[in-house]
Amino acid sequence: MAIYERYSSSNLTKYRILTNLAQNKYTHLNNWPTVILNEFTPLTQKELTLVSRVALNPTLRQIDLARTLDVTRSAVNQIWKRLAREHHLKVKSLVNYGKLGINWIFGWAEDSTISPELDKFVNWLTLTPYATQIEESIISSSMNRVIYFEALVPFGEKTYQFKQQLDRFRKRPYDIQVDYDHVDHTRDALNLGRFDGSKWNLEDEFRLSTIMGATKSFVEILPIERTLRIGHEYAAPTEFAIAAILQRDYHVSSRKLQKALIEKFALDIADRTLRRKLPQIRSSFVMPYVSIDQIGLTQTILFHFKFIDDSTNMTRFLHAQTNMFPKTRILFGRGMAVLRLRLPSNVNWLAMTESFMHNLKGTSDVTACIIDAPLLQKELEHVYPYFVKHSDKISRREMM
């Protein structure tokens, strides 16, 4: 079994994988977390080629892929269906919540592993209608229990009240370390350059640290690509609902969209109107990304960066790291960032943490953890009722 052996080095508690089994779940053995690997159906060369091309440009439809790959649309459709069935391939959307009248808040809370105060914090988050993501650590580099959370809160008074409650948990009698920020921009990336369809070939620890150091030297001239910058506007309920459908399926047809709007939001909109609105909402409210499972990325690691120095170079440095790893999502605020990595189980996550700490010394405090399955996970459609209720109140106040 994949038992972690504990030892101390450079003020950082480490765990070393001793052995591995081929299944995909976490267990506990003698109170020590046990990571177990999984087997998956390898991708054929044709499948890998298609996914790689979609990862480079998720806006491509199947007909565009057929032209690009010089194959028939029927062939692309067959490969896509097989990937969707066996690997859950889908093009989803990052949503520009700020253009929908919503503050996207993300945060990191930690306390001792037996903290009842942290349990109370989780209970409060679970009950609030605005929390959309709550995840708990299995192991953390700080040896504390970590709770990561995200929330979608309407502009104005509701945001003020939500942040007040977060601040309350920082004080007595709770005294929990709670860091939170508004998402300023975000990115989701899939990099299959080191995947041959059956296994990942990632750099060893020494090369990883060296590449990070080289990246830091050129940080001022590195481009920031495919980034969604969060706006600050109010949207109509119709735009909100369409964005919620696009979140799950960027390429949804107007006909399927019409059906989903009726079933989920009780909105009956003519197909002709939707065909006109869809391109506008795709270009203004969302950004596509590739979602795929069962390709050997069994370990999910979160890195929390709390900025000490100017965040501009930090932003460029962390953006550059997204091109090094297989699957990444990063959220940036003004004072902190959270990097989510999906990696093979044999990657030494604490060696990566040390590399980040070394390269960001004096500019950022770094904490990392392996996370378990989410305690809570909701999408945009689940906060729709609260958004409509809040926007109705705003409309009434503006009319008075």
Spatial CB neighbours of 111, under 8 Å, sequence gap ≥ 6: 117, 118, 144, 145, 175, 176, 177
Q: In terms of Cα–Cα distance, which of 260, 213, 155, 203 is closest to 361?
A: 213
Q: Using CA atoms, how far apart are residues 356 and 334, in angstroms rounded to an integer? A: 19
Q: Using CA atoms, how far apart are residues 238 and 18, in angstroms rounded to an integer? A: 53
Mean pLDDT by 10 residues, the chain (400 residues): 32 33 34 51 97 96 96 97 97 96 97 93 96 97 96 95 98 97 96 94 67 65 75 90 97 97 95 95 97 96 91 79 89 96 91 89 93 95 82 42
Q: Using CA atoms, how far apart are residues 313 and 93, in angstroms rounded to an integer? A: 27
Contact 54, 289 (CB under 8 A): no
Q: Using CA atoms, how far apart are residues 170 and 55, in angstroms rounded to an integer? A: 41
Phi/psi of residue 99, each to 5°? -80, -5
Give the pLDDT of residue 69: 95
Model confidence pLDDT, tens digit, residues 93-123? 999 999 999 999 999 999 998 899 999 999 9
Q: In terms of Cα–Cα distance, which of 267, 287, 230 is closest to 385?
A: 267
Task: Determine the angle formed by the axes of helices 271-285 and 254-265, rounding to 10 degrees.
Answer: 90
Where does residue 172 rank: exposed (0-12), middle (13-18), buried (19+ CB within 10 A)? exposed
Contact 95, 288 (CB under 8 A): no
SS3 42: coil
- Angle CA 125–288–353, to nearest 5: 60
Contact 180, 108 (CB under 8 A): yes
Give the pLDDT of residue 223: 58
Give the pLDDT of residue 149: 98
